[in-house]
Amino acid sequence: MNHSVHGIHHVTCIAGDPQENLDFYVGVLGLRLVKKSVNQDAPDTYHLFFADAVGNPGTDLTFFPWAQMEPARRGVGLANEISFAIPVGALDFWRERFDAQQVKYDAEEIRFGEKTVTFRDPHGLPLALVESNDARDFVAWDASPVPTEFQLRGMHAVRLWERALAPTAKLLTEHLGMTYIGEDNGWHRYGADGGGSGKWVDAQELPSERRGAWGTGGVHHVAWRVRDDAEQFGVRAQVESMGLSPTPQIDRFWFRSVYFKEPGGVLFELATDGPGFDRDEDMSHLGEQLILPPWLEPHRAQIEAMLPPLELPRVKA
């Protein structure tokens, strides 16, 4: 039996100042902070999760704020852009909003037939908005500063730079169950479950490009959706059969994870759809308090003393 991933689960990035990060993604982009926690492997830094109203897989962009790090170095072996889906016709609203919020953006372009505008967050992370009416698992956040009809519907695609495309293409199609869709302006598109918004990965081959490096304004890893443990173990075995070295399953409490580097060096994760962010918080109060997984709870006082203060932005339209 061949197992496959089902699209983007979340993408985790590296931010600078955590308050600037929070103010931008909630106050400007209108996402909901659905979990305020810590990096479970380095609990002296936050782990902030921004998503739709309920934290649906595929809507969740997360950050480790490591303000002391150098800026990311763009190059091969990294994901270098994350795009969000917005409804068809919403780009005019977003351009006006960016003008009002003093967010710089680039001229509109067409990618794989879809209208796209690129921009960066305050710490330099490359982002894009893409008009798409593809069906999405999305719940609007009523308290967002962005009206429901214009809200970000979740991540649309991730883009990778590869020194050699063939080994990565083999992983995506033969071991993760994706379909090759086609090429546009040097970018090769692959789709999980046959493709659609939230299920795309685009890769570009750049044989002479330098290797990238993690830093602020860069992507740390890309997580792909699997339904449950059985499917995760099945995909993990397929990844291992390619000669790669996936980790054992790691319990992240709100989902379970397996990590590995794809052949070009990008860190991938297989993440289960559940249990979900309301496992330890009421859905109406997600993100308001510092939440620790049970094994870190005994160290709460020590952890809280290491973290800078962080306030939810006063959301304004």
Q: What is the tens place of the pLDDT at every residue in 246-288?
A: 999 999 999 999 999 999 999 999 999 999 999 999 999 999 9
Provide the pLDDT for residue 212.
98
Whether the predicted pLDDT of 146 surpasses 90: yes
In this prediction, residue 137 has a pLDDT band, given cuts at 50, 70 and 90, of: very high
Instruction: Read off the CATH number of the domain in which 156 is found.
Output: 3.10.180.10
Domain assignment of residue 173, given as a range: 8-306
Whether residue 317 lies inside any domain: the answer is no
In this prediction, residue 1 has a pLDDT band, given cuts at 50, 70 and 90, of: low
Q: If you average pLDDT over residues 119-139, what whole number do you get? A: 98
Q: If you average pLDDT over residues 12-41, what whole number do you get? A: 97
Q: If you average pLDDT over residues 179-197, what whole number do you get? A: 98
Provide the pLDDT for residue 313.
83
Whether residue 57 lies inside any domain: the answer is yes
% of residues, the chain, pLDDT over 90: 97
| Structure tokens given for 204 | 């570009």
Whether the predicted pLDDT of 44 surpasses 90: yes
Whether residue 314 lies inside any domain: the answer is no
C-beta neighbour count of 257 within 10 angstroms: 20
Whether residue 21 lies inside any domain: the answer is yes
pTM to 2 decimals? Answer: 0.97
DSSP string, 167-181: HHHHIIIIIS--EEE
Whether residue 316 lies inside any domain: the answer is no
Provide the pLDDT for residue 316.
53
d(CA 24, CA 230): 37
d(CA 112, CA 184): 6
Average pLDDT, the chain: 97
Whether residue 216 lies inside any domain: the answer is yes
Q: Amino acid letter at 45?
A: T
% of residues, the chain, pLDDT over 70: 98
Whether residue 267 lies inside any domain: the answer is yes
- How far apart are the two ends of the chain, measured CA to CA in Å? 50
Q: What is the tens place of the pLDDT at every residue in 45-103?
A: 999 999 999 999 999 999 999 999 999 999 999 999 999 999 999 999 999 999 999 99
Whether residue 168 lies inside any domain: the answer is yes
Provide the pLDDT for residue 315.
58
- In the DSSP assignment, the letter for residue 132 is -
Provide the pLDDT for residue 314.
67
Number of domains in the chain: 1
d(CA 134, CA 157): 13
